[in-house]
Structure formats: structure tokens, C-alpha cells
Structure 1
């Protein structure tokens, strides 16, 4: 910005200054006339000239004072959005410039935080896609082998094996779908008063083939409907994920009778749904990272079925719904998960 544009921006100052100068000269002249003192026109012009010179000097000083800031604006404009040129502001010389600089820094900090969060989410999503595709290859390959095995005369056994692999694909697709929906959680949830006992029975029924196949018997400790405020679709996913994991890590345990126990307790200010299995348990060194994204742990590395996303998604869903999700486990003796529904304190987090 040059000096003429600087003056143009301050045309209001110029008008006010000269009007003020003229009023002062006029007032003094009237006072002198009343006192019968004559003032020549030359003296009036001289006073006006002095005021004009002082005003021009002040404008030059003001322009020189603002010139570094104008240079910064020109660099930022010439940079065409380059962050280095925009953020490289010169020293501030006015309160206005200081406020502008502060706003710029805070805006950039907020932008950087959002960008980092987006990049992290994108990185996790891409990694999850890769893990998921790798996981889906196994059941697809098994199904292809079963179909191509012409010598297998046990049709029922083959169909049962295909059904088992199909369940894995279905579960993987469901996890992918919920992971995608979670990014827009605030647009995809509806809070209702639901019977948690009914939801537990629904999840058990959805997994009854897998339970029967591995001789695992569900046990429910609750006889009456228990109502909680939640989103039935999201909480069913969480319960289902815990049950699927319980089956996965209990199916090879050598017991005469294997149980997965569902218990619903009303503890006054909260309702707790616990899901306990008799599986292999979680090693002590892995317990602090169970809810971390992509963490499969010692047990997960024993199978190609684990992406390390199931419990991460479950924890995020519970956090969004304002519910608690904790667990206790002992290696070799099983794991017990707790979904905690707080009465009257459910806070729905709508920030994705």
C-alpha cells in the first residue's frame, strides 16, 4: 500500500482536521474582531499553512509507522495463500496490529489442530481398511477351497463351514459400516428408553449358530425388563462385539461346559450390564491397551481374525453415548466386561 492509498483510507481524518482548524481560526478571528483587533488575511493563511504542514508531517509519520504492516500484507497477498508468508508478520506497532496478530495465531492454531486430527483419523481409516481387507481374504479363501473340493461328500459339513466363514465376513462388514458411521455420529443416533434385557436376548439370538457350533451356553441373570436411555442400534453393536470376542477366545478352552454370563444390575445411580466369559483371559501386559486402535495383543496375534478395532470402536461409541465401558480379566480364567448406564447423567457427545 502506497502513501496515496494510505491517505485515502484516512480521508475522514483529513476532513475533520481541516474543519477543526477552520473553526478554531474563525473563533479566534471573531474574538479579536469583538476586541477591535484586526487580523490580516496573511496571518490567517499562515496559520492554516502551519496546520496543513503539521498534518502532512503526521500523515508521513503514520504511514512510516504502518509501512512494515503494509509490507506484510503485500507479502501475504503475493504469497497466494502460502502459510509461511501469511504467518511471518512483522513486529506489531499498534494495538490493532497486536489484536490482528493474536487472532491470526489463534486461528492458525485451531486450523492446525483440526488438520492434525483429520490426518490422524484418515491415517487410522486407511490402516483399518488395509487390516479389514486382509482379514476378509481369509474367509473368502476358505469358502473358495470348500467350493472347489469335489471329493468332499459331506455337504452338510461343507455348508456349515461356509456359513461360519460367512459370519466372519458379515461381522467384518458390520464393523466397517459402523466405523464409517462413527465419523458422523451426531447425525446418526436416536435416544430412546429401551429394555436392555431385550437387546441382550436379540444379540444372543443373532449369534446362536456360533454359540451352538462351539458348545457355548449363554446364561442371563435377570428376569424382568430393565430400561435405560441409549441408542439401541449403537449399543447392540457394542454388546455384539463383546459377545463375538467372548466366543472367539472361549471356543478352544477345554471345559465340560462353557458359559457366557450376562448379568444386569440396578446399582441405584447406574445400571450395569456385565458380560463374562470363561476364555483365555487377557495378559496383564495387554490390559492397559485393550481399547487402543489396532491393538490386537498377545491373544489377537494367535488368530488372523483380529483387526484390533472392535473394542476401540466399542469404547468410542460408549464415550459418545455417555456410557462407561470397563473390564476385568485374569489370564487363563476369563474376562468380564461392564457396560455402565448412568441414570440421569447421560451426556451425548455430538462432536465427531
Structure 2
């Protein structure tokens, strides 16, 4: 920006200054007239000329002070989006420039934080897709082999195996849809009063064939009419994921009677659902990473069915709904997960966002 544009940009200041100078001269002249004295035109002109010179000096000083900032703006405008040029702001000399610099840096920081988060989400999503596709290939291949079996005597056994593989595909699809919907969670949930016992029974019923297949007995300890504020669909996914893991890590345990226990306890300020199994338990070195994305741990590496996303998604869902999710485990004796529904922490307002 050149000097002429600088002065033009401050046309309001110029107008106010000269109007003010003329008013002062006029008032002084009127005062002298009242006192029967006169001021020569030369003196009036000389006063106006001095005021104009002082104003011009001030504008020159102001322009020199702003010139580095104008040079920066011109350079930033011609940089074609080069962030280094835009962020390399010149020496700050005014409060206005300081505020501009602060806003620019805060905006850039916010932008980089969002970009980093987006890139991390994309990286996780792509990795999850690759894992999911790899996981789905196994049951599909097994089904194809079973369908090629020409031994009609094993027809019932073949159907059972196909059903088992189909359950894996269904579970994988549920996880895929859940992961996709979580990015817009606030658009896909409805908070209401939910009968927790009814949700537990529904989840158990959905997994009854797997429970029967591995001789695992569900035990529900809950009095009737235990209601909580939550989204029935999302909380059912969490409970289902915990149950599937409990079955997965209990099925090979040698025991005459294997139980998965659902127990609901009213602790005053919160209602706690515990889901405990008698499975192989979680190794001590893996416990701090159970809720990490893609972490399968020592137990998960023993089976190709594990993607390491189930508990990560469950934790994210509970966080979004305002519920607590924790666990305790002892290797070789089993694992117990706890879902805490806080009574004083209503989440009805979330559904209105």
C-alpha cells in the first residue's frame, strides 16, 4: 500500500482533523471580533498552514510505522496460499497488529489441530477397513469350502458351521457401521428411559446359539424396572461387544460349568452393570491398552477373529453417552467389565443438539 492509499484509507481522520482546525480558528476569530479586535487573513492562513503541515508529518510517521505491515500483507496476498509467507508476520508495532498476529496464530493452531485429528481419523479408518476386509475374507472362504462339501450326511453340521461363520460376518458388519456412524454421533442417537434388563435379555437372546454351542450359561442378577437414561441401540452394541468377547475368551476354558454373569447394582449416585466371565483373563501388561484402537493384545493374537476395535468403539460410545466403562481382570480367572450410568448426570440435552 503506497502513501496515497494510506491517506485515502484514513479519509475520516483527515476530515475530522481539518473540520476541527477550522472550528478552532473560527471560534478564536469570533472571540476577537466580540472584543472588537481583528485577525489578519495572513495569520489565519498561517495557522491553517501550520496545522496542515503537522497533520502531514503525522500521516508520514504513521505510514512509515505501518509500512512493514503493509509489505507483509502484500507478500501474503501474493503467496498463493504459502503458509510460511502468511505466518511470517513483520515486526509488530501496534496493538491492532498484535491482535491480528495473535488471531492468525490461534487460527493456524486450530487448523493444524483439526487437520492432525482428521489425518489420524483417516489413518485409523483406512487401517480398520484393511483389517475388516481381511477378517471378512476368512468366514467367506470357510463358507465356500463348506458349500463345496458333497457329503450329504454332514448337512446339519455344515449348516451349523455356515451359521457360525455368518455370525462373524454379521458382527464385522455391525462394527463397520458403528465405526462409520461414530463420526456423526450427534445425528444418530436418541436418549430415553431404557429398561436395562430388557436390553440385556435381547443381547443374550441374539447370542444364544453361540452360548449353547460352547456350553456357556448366562446368569442375570437384576431386579425388575431398572431404568437408565441412554440410547438403547448404542448401549446394546456395547453390551453385545462385551458379551462376544466374553464368549470368545471363555469357549476354550476347560470347566464343567461356564457362566457369564450380568449383574445390576444401584450404588446411589449411579447404576452399575457388571458383565463377568470365567475366561482366560487379560494379561497384566495388556490392561492399560485394552481401549486403544487396533490393540489385540496377547490373547487377541491367538485368534484371527480379533481386530482390536471392539472395546475401542465401546469406550468411545460410552464417552459420547456420558457413561463410565472400566474393567478388572485376573489372568486365568476371568474378566469383569463395568458400565456406570450416572443418575445425576442427565444426557437428555445431548439428543437435542
Asked if TM exceeds 0.5, the reply is yes
TM-score, reference length from structure 1:
0.96
Long gaps (5+) in structure 2: none
- List aligned pairs for 1:1-352, cutoff 5 A: 1-151=1-151, 153-347=153-347
SS at match of 1:338: strand
More deviation, 180-189/235-244 = 180-189
SS at match of 1:184: helix
Is the 2:265–2:272 contact (alpha carbons within 8 Å) kept by the matching residues of 1? yes
More deviation, 144-153/70-79 = 144-153
CA distance in 1, matches of 2:328, 2:26: 91
Is the 1:280–1:331 contact (alpha carbons within 8 Å) kept by the matching residues of 2? yes
CA distance in 2, matches of 1:322, 1:19: 64
Is the 1:69–1:89 contact (alpha carbons within 8 Å) kept by the matching residues of 2? yes
* Structure 1 residue 142, shift from structure 2 partner: 0.8
CA RMSD of aligned residues (A): 1.8
CA distance in 2, matches of 1:123, 1:348: 33
Is the 1:320–1:350 contact (alpha carbons within 8 Å) kept by the matching residues of 2? no
SS at match of 1:317: helix
CA distance in 2, matches of 1:344, 1:233: 22
SS at match of 1:161: helix
Is the 2:191–2:348 contact (alpha carbons within 8 Å) kept by the matching residues of 1? no
Is the 2:229–2:347 contact (alpha carbons within 8 Å) kept by the matching residues of 1? no
1:218-237 deviations in Å (ceiling 9; x for gaps)? 11122423111111000000
Is the 1:321–1:348 contact (alpha carbons within 8 Å) kept by the matching residues of 2? no
CA distance in 2, matches of 1:284, 1:235: 27
Is the 1:320–1:348 contact (alpha carbons within 8 Å) kept by the matching residues of 2? no
CA distance in 1, matches of 2:269, 2:223: 20
1:270-316 deviations in Å (ceiling 9; x for gaps)? 11111111111100110111111110000000001000000011111
Is the 2:230–2:321 contact (alpha carbons within 8 Å) kept by the matching residues of 1? yes
TM-score, reference length from structure 2:
0.95
CA distance in 1, matches of 2:311, 2:268: 27
Q: 1:126 to 1:265 in 2, by over 3 A?
A: same
Q: Which runs of 4+ in 1 moved over 4 A?
A: 347-352
* Structure 1 residue 42, shift from structure 2 partner: 2.0
CA distance in 1, matches of 2:182, 2:23: 70
Is the 2:140–2:165 contact (alpha carbons within 8 Å) kept by the matching residues of 1? yes
Q: 1:56 to 1:261 in 2, by over 3 A?
A: same
1:76-119 deviations in Å (ceiling 9; x for gaps)? 11113322122111121111111111111112112221111111
CA distance in 2, matches of 1:273, 1:255: 25
* Structure 1 residue 259, shift from structure 2 partner: 1.1
Q: 1:336 to 1:220 in 2, by over 3 A?
A: same
CA distance in 1, matches of 2:303, 2:348: 35
Is the 1:21–1:48 contact (alpha carbons within 8 Å) kept by the matching residues of 2? yes
Is the 1:321–1:349 contact (alpha carbons within 8 Å) kept by the matching residues of 2? no
1:176-224 deviations in Å (ceiling 9; x for gaps)? 1011111111111111111111111100100011111111111112242
Is the 1:250–1:277 contact (alpha carbons within 8 Å) kept by the matching residues of 2? yes
CA distance in 2, matches of 1:191, 1:28: 76
Long gaps (5+) in structure 1: none
